[in-house]
């Protein structure tokens, strides 16, 4: 039997599940953006692994750039405060932009980013969210065009997602044992 990290309570998505999900999003983007050379923006750090895999799953011409924002610090709850720590190197005026996000929780981070990037007059902005967290009675502040999978309202790690910078290297998505962060 495969051994998972001792801090992981449950595995929600295996490596195989993740491969299928990313390939499916890649296919949709390849069809929708044929001949458009979209700019895929990875929101660091969480989306770096998803973006690397997604780029390889997109079969049409595309480019990549990176942004870093702070939203969570080392905690587990959204602070609502978003700061651009690293900006794009690419001009996005007139470009088709796809923001690749690791997980959509409240959506506050992306709603802020869309406003900030929208002011630069891209041709279009869409979101590809690898995960969307389902929170009862709450709707995220933005609606992603591409969604990999929905996860329950728990703190998840792996495949780029961290808790206090740990667990990003786990190749699967797992629920962190609450005792690790409480």
Would you count residue 106 as binding ligand IMP (CB under 6 A)? yes
Shortest Cβ 36–ligand IMP spacing (Å): 25
Report the interhelical angle of 15-32 vs 48-57 (nearest 10°): 60
CB 165 → ligand IMP: shortest distance, Å? 11
- From 61, 105, 153, 162, active-site residue: 105
Smallest gap from residue 126 Cβ to ligand IMP (A)? 16
CB closer to ligand IMP, 58 vs 67: 67
The count of C-alpha atoms lying within 13 angstroms of the C-alpha of 177, restricted to the half-sphere facing its C-beta, is: 8
Q: Of 62 and 142, which has the nearer Cβ to ligand IMP?
A: 142
Give the residue among 171, 130, 97 at the shortest CA–CA distance from 25: 130
Contact 108, 136 (CB under 8 A): no
Task: Tell me which stretch binds ligand IMP (CB under 6 A): 1-9, 49-57, 88-96, 152-160.
Answer: 152-160
172 binds ligand IMP (CB under 6 A): no
Q: How far is CA 33 from CA 20, 120, 127, in A?
A: 20, 20, 13
Q: In the chain, what is the straight-line distance between the N-terminal and C-terminal CA atoms, in Å? A: 29
Establish if 156 lies at the interface with ligand IMP (CB under 6 A). yes
11, 128, 161, 170: residue in contact with ligand IMP (rule CB under 6 A): 161
In 35-176, where does DSSP find H-type helix? 48-57, 108-118
**What values do phi and psi take at 136, rounded to 5?**
-55, 130
User: Which lies closer to ligand IMP via its Cβ, residue 22 or residue 161?
Assistant: 161
Q: Is 51 in the site for ligand IMP (CB under 6 A)?
A: no
Give CA–CA dist 124/159, Å, rounded: 27
134 is catalytic: no
For the record, the structure tokens of 112 come out as 């802020």
**Which residue's CB is nearer to ligand IMP, number 35 or number 139?**
139
What residues line the site for ligand IMP (CB under 6 A)? 46, 71-72, 78, 101-109, 133, 155-157, 161
């Amino acid at each position: 039997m495969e051994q998972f990290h001792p801090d992981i309570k449950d595995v929600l998505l295996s490596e195989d599940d993740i491969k299928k999900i990313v390939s499916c999003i890649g296919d949709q983007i390849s069809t929708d953006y044929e001949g458009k050379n979209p700019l895929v923006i990875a929101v660091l750090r969480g989306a770096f692994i998803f973006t690397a895999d997604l780029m390889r799953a997109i079969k049409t011409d595309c480019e990549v750039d990176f942004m870093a924002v702070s939203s969570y610090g080392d905690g587990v709850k959204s602070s609502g405060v978003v700061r651009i720590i690293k900006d794009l190197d690419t001009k996005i005026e007139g470009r088709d932009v796809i923001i690749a996000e690791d997980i959509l929780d409240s959506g506050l981070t992306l709603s802020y980013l869309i406003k900030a990037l929208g002011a630069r007059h891209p041709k279009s902005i869409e979101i590809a969210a690898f995960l969307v967290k389902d929170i009862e009675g709450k709707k995220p502040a933005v609606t992603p065009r591409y969604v990999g999978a929905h996860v329950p309202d728990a703190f998840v790690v792996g495949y780029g997602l961290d808790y206090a910078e740990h667990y990003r290297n786990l190749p699967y998505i797992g629920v962190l044992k609450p005792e690790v962060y409480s």
